[in-house]
Structure 1
Amino acid sequence: MKNMLLCILCVGLQYVQGQTDGMGSMALPEENIPIDPNVKVGQLDNGLTYYIRNNGKPEDKVELRLVVNAGSIMETERQLGLAHFMEHMNFNGTKNFEKNDLVDYLQSIGVKFGADLNAYTSFDETVYILPIPSDDPEKLEKGFQIIEDWAHNTTLSEEAIDGERGVVLEELRIRLGAEERMQKVTLPKMMYGSRYAERLPIGTKENLENFSYDDVRDYYNTWYRPDLMAVIAVGDLDVATMEGKIKSHFSGIEKAKNPVERKSYELPNHEETLIAIAADSEAAFSRVQVMYKDRFETPVVKTVGDYRESLVKNLFSTLINNRLDELGNSAKPPFVFGYSYYGGTYARTKNAYQSIAQTSPEGQMDGLKAVLEENERVKRYGFQAGEFDRAKKSLLARLEKRYNDRDKQESNRMVNPYIYHYLENQPIPGIEWEYSMTKNLLPTIQLEEIGNLINTFLHDDNRVIVITGPEKEGVQQISEEAVRALLESIKTAEIAPYKDEAVRAELMETLPPAGSITATETNKKLGVTTFTLSNGAKVTFKKTDFKNDEVLFEAFSPGGTSLYSDEELKATAFANSGLSQAGIGGLSLTDMGKFMSGKIVRVTPRIGSFSENFSGSAAPKDLETLFQMVHLYFTSLNKDPEAFASHMTKQKSFLGNLMANPQFYFQDQLGEIQNEGNPRYTGFPTVEKMDASDYDLAYQKYQERFADAGDFHFYFVGNVDETELKSFAATYLASLPGKNSAENFVPTKFRRKDTFQKHIIKKGTDPKSNVRISWEEEIPYDGKTEMAIKALGEVLTIKLVEKLREDEGGVYGVGARGNLSKISFSNLTFSISFPCGPENVDKLVAAALGEVEKIKKDGVSPADMAKVKETYLVKRKEDLKTNKFWISNMVKADQEKRNLMGMMQLEAKLDNLKPKDIQKVAQQYLDENYFLGILMPETE
């Protein structure tokens, strides 16, 4: 006993001594987690809370959020679905913005409905999302006026309510299907005995059709009040100005005189294990889930000790998921993928430990057994020191990346922590505190306490087993008795300890003889440098300061599968994705996972239709590892039939019932019809196609495609050190074989029919349809035509939303898109697509085509033209400060022989784009020779 007390004292002393705040002062377990000093948190006299933070990325933009601490859980029986309906109504008329004026105004300043302007409703909250320019006082003022109107100035006219019923019913229709039907079986067990089982935010068809005007008004008046609201403003504006706006717009909202209590609804405990088994003939995927709900309410993470406990749980998740990944990569994987975590449930008041796996339709019991056994293995034997060290490295590396990029974080990525600080009292100490405290706390965390967590996670009470998947011939349905028998058998099953096999310390044990750089050229206007290597390969890079801890990577060489014969293409098309599953340089995928612990680096090779490619990224400190991986993918891709077979098994499990889903079936059938007579069309993957894949041939063709590095062009964008980059390129890229093959891709010979076609495809039992209207034509490439056809897509989307959604109430979402491609031939495509009710298909197709005809006849209004141009300009301003935009445009310019300087000339091109240009492409190319594909239910 004396020795045990001494041991506990030493561990406790180590814990206290290891905790400092990064400035040398002591941080004790009971000390409260601070609030990030960079965010200002305040409260108005009426109870409204606000969060404000100045952040300069992106420039001249503020992210606004209105958070309402009420969702569907607050609805009465007469109000089912009305929390979500109320969210819709805030876009349909307020004191200062009549119906349609709000969306119309925001579009005019470059804010897109859906992509930028949005909202969501969940069980416990409703959140409104509004990005707004901060460099224009008038636009800024209107932005705050909009969120004020959402808070208390919605008009809720009878006409607007009736008009929106159809839109929300269409949203409900989209959700119909196998998943929705199975959820009706599983949710009552997962949320057993609670209000959450009866309050899905979408509501019910019956109530949405029949609720009274006063029902939705009562919800609004009861729950939209300042003591249940927070306003969040993060962006490129000083804190004082944002605070002034919040106070001027929200201080005048009166407190509720007799506020209804905002209850917190519990998730009751239950002694027995509940089992929910649901099967559906249209279910595309099979899944198993084990849920161990806490016996206690969700604890608040408030102190340093609480934070340390959250780190322990984070490490546990990393450790168990590393094991599940290894199991998924094994010779006979029991699931497509599996993962475990400790975290929230649908109920705000209850956390749970959950293990989830996606399986084949026939393999649900195998998948369930696998996750149960892995949990039991940890319970019996705990974790090992090697895997514990790797988990700590991975956790710290992820946190270090966030810390290094702390001054380069986009505003829209900062707001969520503030939302959940308000709603759930989650801590917001800031990344500086998190990083410093984590570094101090990690050494104090013992391996045993992580392993011991499983004893608090696993219990027979408050346990729910959920099994969902297809109901189909040849698949025996699982019984509750079989599941209960499995649960009992795991307790006494023979389960061996986990074996942690060490991997070598170096990715490449011998470095290749370096090549050299033979020529360099620089585009000073764009800040882009290209150098040629001694083997003929080219490397282009652009150093940016957009992110401190990011380098993006792309590479390509012309050719791809276009150089394969028809037979070779079909034999390898679905095998190529499995080639990299064997690993590189003698290291398996599992070995690679271990080796990469603590590194932020990713490299993926791919053989496309017209080029072989690489994509990836790395933290600057791990850039050499990226280069080594690229070198090994060229020279030392492992050949492992067992790893390939494992990958194919998972793919076939994933695809097992895919075509039972009406949407997947619809897309597959459209592809088959439009590619009739195309000898190189491979279509959707199927089990049969996977079985016919030729691994040996795919590996051979890979070796051929990557045999010559000399015709590759490599691109790097980000925080690049030029000296390091040149050294790595000379060592790992210039040393690759260069054969000067100067290959090019073979253009596609097949052309789709340019005639009117109408095809009705019947699949599914739900009353839901899908419509796709498309045009396609081979024309000479012209940059102005490309811009005009893309702009036509933007304009027509605006008009279709107005007509089909707002006027007709017949769709939830609708979009149009145009493009003019240069690879492999100059091909113009344009499409319109939307889901709707079967009874409305003909009417809405006619309405959509009617909007096309209006543009062809009357042209584009100046207002709509201005909206599109402003949207392009706002997006381009932000894009120019992202690494992703630069690297994608650099690659595209090279592949398609474009002038890279063109990306800097958007404003001039838009000035030159006139309404008549858009009208002209509509007249020329949106003719009567369109393809009309319609999905209808089988019962129609």
Structure 2
Amino acid sequence: MKKHNFWIFGLCLFLLGTVQAQNVENKANSANIPQGQIPTDPNVKIGKLENGLTYYIRNNGKPEDKVELRLVVNAGSILENDDQQGLAHFMEHMNFNGTTNFQKNELVDYLQSIGVKFGADLNAYTSFDETVYILPIPSDDPEKLEKGFQILEDWAHNTTLTEEAIDGERGVVLEEYRLGLGPDKRMLQEYLPKMLYGSKYAERLPIGKKDVLENFDYETLRNFYNDWYRPDLMAVVAVGDLDVATLEQKIKDHFGRIEPAKNAPKREEFDLPNHEETFITVASDPEAPFSRVQVMYKDTFKSPAAKTTQDYKDLVVRSLFSTMLNNRLNELRNAANPPFIFGYSYYGGTYARDKKAYQSVAQTSETGQLTALQALLEENERVKRFGFQEGELERAKKELIARMEKAYKDRDKIESGRIVGEYINNYLEEEPIPGIEWEYDFYQKVLPSIELKDVNGLIKNFIHPDNRVIILTGPEKEGLELVKEDEVLALLEEVENAELTAYEDEAVRSELLETKPQAGTIVSEETNADLDYKSFTLSNGAKVTYKITDFKNDEVLFSAFSYGGTSLYSDEDYLNTVYANGGLSQAGIGGLSLNDMNKMMSGKIVGVSPYISSSTEGFRGQAAPKDLETLFQQVYLYFTGLNKDEEAYNSFISKQKSFLGNLMANPNYYYQNEIGKVRNEGNPRFSGFPTPEKLDEADYDLAYAKYQERFADAGDFNFYFVGNIDEAKLKEFAKTYIGSLPGKDSNETFEVPEFRVKDEYQKVVVNKGTDPKSSVQIVWVEETDYDADEALELDALGEVLTIKLIEQLREEIGGVYGVGANGNLRKYPYGNATFSISFPCGPDNVEKLTEAALAETEKLKENGPTAEDLAKVKETYLQERKDKMQQNGFWLSVLQESDEDDMDISRMMSFEERVQALTAEELQEVANKYLDANYFMGVLMPEETE
């Protein structure tokens, strides 16, 4: 099941705009904003059954014929007794392992039969305060819809919790527990008691305790279920392509019959107690790959829910503050001597629902923690003393309104899976749900009224000497001196008394290009009526292909490629440039630095990234329709005006070195590097993981020269656009910014590498790490002629084997949390088939599970897949394709890949027929062709101890 990444929890809140507001001292201009309560979106119907269950329903047509269901339980690990630690999460697992209407494995088996994938679609997560079950189902079949609601109802009150099922799931949950072991958890256990001082949260990590998971009594789990899985602590969310009345009746029919709880325990709320002192934790671990610093200022008061329009304005002001401060931190990141790899600040949630905090976080080099912490503290102090400037505020307003405008324009095209989260948060934390129409209108009216004084005043409420926590985490190794607590305290005092100067907001020019280039012409045009896309060729030879869609109102996706890539480099040049290529774009374009570009792009939804791969070079990008010309201008400048800036490149190298610091001390990274060495024995181009030494040896001048070579001829490029395109403007921009580029009629292709991995049995065991954790990967690689039908068969074989591996290794043996198989047949740079199996597990189980996995492959070779399993895979393919056909990204990849791999694009029109025509005999034949005795097996084992 899903697990929360607590390190980025606050950042996600900031990026997704889900932080709640508190009242602060910025009541000025209140007369200019709408007054009263924040309304509730009229598109959502909210109700409550007599038994106390709450429901949210919304009709939403994207994707077609699908409804997203959620069962939200207002209960998580925080409610566990001492002898229940980990059982909230265990209970989540048990809901997939036997209910009144679905015996063990029947639930997953049924959902797979209707195209719902376990893990990818069907899922759940448990957090401190809630448990949420995720179920997308088809809405165009009454029987499937009824079964979906029956599953949701069973999760709510019909779990059987048999002793056999409980014991059978212990191994799976313990494997998930095992996955969480490592340096991050060891350091978390050091700092969590200080971060969550005096709170029950510090003692209730959702994964729980190993001894409890191994030994809890059956009744202990049943008690948790009976106490907390009850209708007054539940919400059902149903959003999808179905009328509200039908969904509401389904909820009433299935959940109205649940009896209200009697003599139920009170659902308490837990807070974070205040503390006057500053808590500091310096946590280190020999296997920690990265270094981080975090400063946290927890509020001294409980945060009220946002109810009024003034509360909502406070949220907007807070968003402006975060945007401006993070723009400054990003400028520091791009500086000549960056103090951190990246850094950000935000005001948002803590683990406790009723307590917010202001936090600043940075990832650093292993020796740069104090430097990074100083930079964060100084930028906060700079804002406190001098505030922001008008230019910064105006750019931040442009950014916010641009994001809101994009959301507003796409309001009728948003996927149901992106809507349900708002209603979950409304139920659990009273987060307002006014709807994008109201929000966009509010932003338009309120943003002009917000002044610098409104934003500048926030920092004084955010930063205070009490309730302060500072956390440093990173590697522990010989020769590395750890930061001491008194050094941190001294730094706090130093920054408070430091002589700082106000931020200098340097002006940048307003246009990317001051003069337009001489336009080319369109010399020929083509139309594919069957797939509804068009192409034209420009006078310099460049080809532009585009498909106009209405999948999104405010989106145009873009890509481009040309053959060649690094395959045309000599081996020596490749090795000298492979680690420098990533730094090329860090210099900016057209005489503008990255920081200049960020300022200039304020309010624009646009981005372009060049790349050079092993066999191609090209671009990836996207833009709002209104900013499409800017995208073209960026492409033009990446061809003609990529800056060469040693300082910017050295900044990139510095950050890369900081990122790599202790990477090879981490078992997972070390394992992948060692496996790569063995697999690439004799490969003259194998570079392995980057090291500081390799980065120092990278040749920026050569990389820049090679980039110029690769992008010298725009005439052999293919450009692709998919989305809400104005055809006339697209042609105008293409003629101006692509047609004007040099066309040299080079018509380059790529060179096929000579190196091949060994087609023989190999087994490599890598010993690294102290935790009882292992990882297994089994890989078959075979050079072969490409066949499109066989490519589908090999992929389907991977899907079938994944089903069998989950059944055997997870459900039957209980030896893994996750396992998967994947098959892939490629045409370029040469025809080759790859098939792999991978899973993490306990060291004691490696041999048994490997044998079991290989036994499943042998069964497929001997008997082929069962009719039931093949039908599941077919239905999954058809459901996925139905969704993908309404996505711009899918069509962009189809258009480019058909050209790049020289495929017959018309074959996609027969995809459903080809899927339906798949036979067990074909998959069996493919299995026998490729899954032979010549495979590579890599195994990660802990370090051997005496």
- Using the size of structure 1 for normalisation, the TM-score is 0.97
Q: Which residue in the other structure is 2:809 paired with? A: 804
Q: Which residue in the other structure is 1:5 paired with? A: none
Q: 1:15 touches 1:441 (CA, 8 Å); kept in 2?
A: no
Q: Which residue in the other structure is 1:704 paired with? A: 709
Q: Name the SS of the counterpart of 1:654 in structure 2.
A: helix
Q: Which residue in the other structure is 2:768 paired with? A: 763
Give the partner amino acid of 1:713. N
Residues 453-494 of structure 1: CA deviation (Å, up to 9, x unaligned): 000000010000000000012211111010000011111111
Q: Which residue in the other structure is 2:735 paired with? A: 730
Paired residues in the alignment total 920
Select the residue among 863, 876, 879 that pairs with 1:874: 879
Q: Name the SS of the counterpart of 2:557 in structure 1.
A: strand
Select the residue among 895, 904, 907 that pairs with 2:909: 904
Select the residue among 536, 551, 554 that pairs with 1:531: 536
Give the partner amino acid of 1:480. E
Let me know the Cα RMSD of the aligned residues.
0.8
Q: 1:360 touches 1:656 (CA, 8 Å); kept in 2?
A: yes
Mapped to 2, the partners of 1:616 and 1:513 lie a distance apart of 24
Corresponding position: 1:603 with 2:608: yes
Q: Which residue in the other structure is 1:34 paired with? A: 39
Corresponding position: 1:15 with 2:24: no
Deviation at 1:88, TM superposition (A): 0.1
Give the partner amino acid of 1:645. N
Deviation at 1:870, TM superposition (A): 0.2
The 5 Å alignment of 1:753-902 reads: 753-902=758-907
Mapped to 1, the partners of 2:789 and 2:404 lie a distance apart of 45
Give the partner amino acid of 2:321. F
Residues 676-702 of structure 1: CA deviation (Å, up to 9, x unaligned): 000011222221111110000000000
Q: Which residue in the other structure is 2:436 paired with? A: 431
Mapped to 2, the partners of 1:918 and 1:830 lie a distance apart of 13
Corresponding position: 1:931 with 2:946: no
Mapped to 2, the partners of 1:362 and 1:877 lie a distance apart of 51
Residues 20-56 of structure 1: CA deviation (Å, up to 9, x unaligned): xxxxxxx21xx11010000000000000000000000
The 5 Å alignment of 1:383-402 reads: 383-402=388-407
Residues 551-583 of structure 1: CA deviation (Å, up to 9, x unaligned): 000000000000000000000001001000000
> Residues 14 and 338 (structure 1 numbering): CA distance in 2 closer, same or farther, change over 3 Å?
closer
Give the partner amino acid of 1:454. I
Residues 219-267 of structure 1: CA deviation (Å, up to 9, x unaligned): 0000000000000000000000000000000001011111110000010
Select the residue among 912, 915, 928 that pairs with 2:920: 915
Corresponding position: 1:151 with 2:156: yes
Mapped to 1, the partners of 2:673 and 2:885 lie a distance apart of 37
Corresponding position: 1:632 with 2:637: yes
Corresponding position: 1:338 with 2:328: no
Q: Which residue in the other structure is 1:649 paired with? A: 654
Q: 1:535 touches 1:737 (CA, 8 Å); kept in 2?
A: yes
Corresponding position: 1:418 with 2:428: no
Deviation at 1:12, TM superposition (A): 7.2
**Please, which moves more after superposition, 224-233 or 676-685?**
676-685
Q: Name the SS of the counterpart of 1:323 in structure 2.
A: helix
Q: Name the SS of the counterpart of 1:414 in structure 2.
A: helix
Q: Which residue in the other structure is 1:680 paired with? A: 685
Q: 2:783 touches 2:832 (CA, 8 Å); kept in 1?
A: yes
Q: 2:30 touches 2:310 (CA, 8 Å); kept in 1?
A: no
Q: 2:413 touches 2:551 (CA, 8 Å); kept in 1?
A: yes
> Residues 848 and 12 (structure 1 numbering): CA distance in 2 closer, same or farther, change over 3 Å?
closer
Mapped to 2, the partners of 1:911 and 1:764 lie a distance apart of 47
Mapped to 1, the partners of 2:680 and 2:457 lie a distance apart of 58
Corresponding position: 1:550 with 2:555: yes
Q: 2:92 touches 2:131 (CA, 8 Å); kept in 1?
A: yes
Mapped to 1, the partners of 2:55 and 2:29 lie a distance apart of 39
Give the partner amino acid of 2:134. I
Corresponding position: 1:233 with 2:253: no
The 5 Å alignment of 1:295-334 reads: 295-334=300-339
Give the partner amino acid of 1:936. M
Select the residue among 699, 722, 745 that pairs with 1:694: 699
Residues 379-420 of structure 1: CA deviation (Å, up to 9, x unaligned): 010000001100000000001100000000000000001001
Q: Which residue in the other structure is 1:6 paired with? A: none
The 5 Å alignment of 1:223-622 reads: 223-622=228-627
Corresponding position: 1:90 with 2:105: no
Deviation at 1:939, TM superposition (A): 2.8
The 5 Å alignment of 1:203-218 reads: 203-218=208-223
Deviation at 1:452, TM superposition (A): 1.2
**Please, which moves more after superposition, 96-105 or 439-448?**
439-448
- Segments of structure 2 that go 5 or more residues without pairing to the other structure are 1-25
Q: Percent identity?
A: 66
Mapped to 1, the partners of 2:351 and 2:617 lie a distance apart of 44
Q: 2:29 touches 2:450 (CA, 8 Å); kept in 1?
A: no
Q: Name the SS of the counterpart of 2:457 in structure 1.
A: helix
Q: Name the SS of the counterpart of 1:813 in structure 2.
A: coil
- Using the size of structure 2 for normalisation, the TM-score is 0.97
Deviation at 1:912, TM superposition (A): 2.2
The runs of 4+ residues in structure 1 deviating greater than 4 Å are 11-14
Deviation at 1:338, TM superposition (A): 0.2
Mapped to 2, the partners of 1:783 and 1:736 lie a distance apart of 36
Q: 1:420 touches 1:426 (CA, 8 Å); kept in 2?
A: yes
Mapped to 2, the partners of 1:660 and 1:431 lie a distance apart of 47
Give the partner amino acid of 2:671. F
Mapped to 2, the partners of 1:586 and 1:524 lie a distance apart of 43
Mapped to 2, the partners of 1:271 and 1:233 lie a distance apart of 45
Give the partner amino acid of 1:357. A
Give the partner amino acid of 1:518. V
- Segments of structure 1 that go 5 or more residues without pairing to the other structure are 1-10, 20-26
Q: Which residue in the other structure is 1:49 paired with? A: 54
Q: Name the SS of the counterpart of 1:422 in structure 2.
A: helix
The 5 Å alignment of 1:85-124 reads: 85-124=90-129
Q: Name the SS of the counterpart of 1:653 in structure 2.
A: helix
Q: 1:178 touches 1:282 (CA, 8 Å); kept in 2?
A: yes
Q: Name the SS of the counterpart of 2:610 in structure 1.
A: strand
Q: Name the SS of the counterpart of 1:301 in structure 2.
A: coil
Mapped to 1, the partners of 2:72 and 2:804 lie a distance apart of 30
Q: Which residue in the other structure is 1:168 paired with? A: 173
Q: 1:111 touches 1:871 (CA, 8 Å); kept in 2?
A: yes
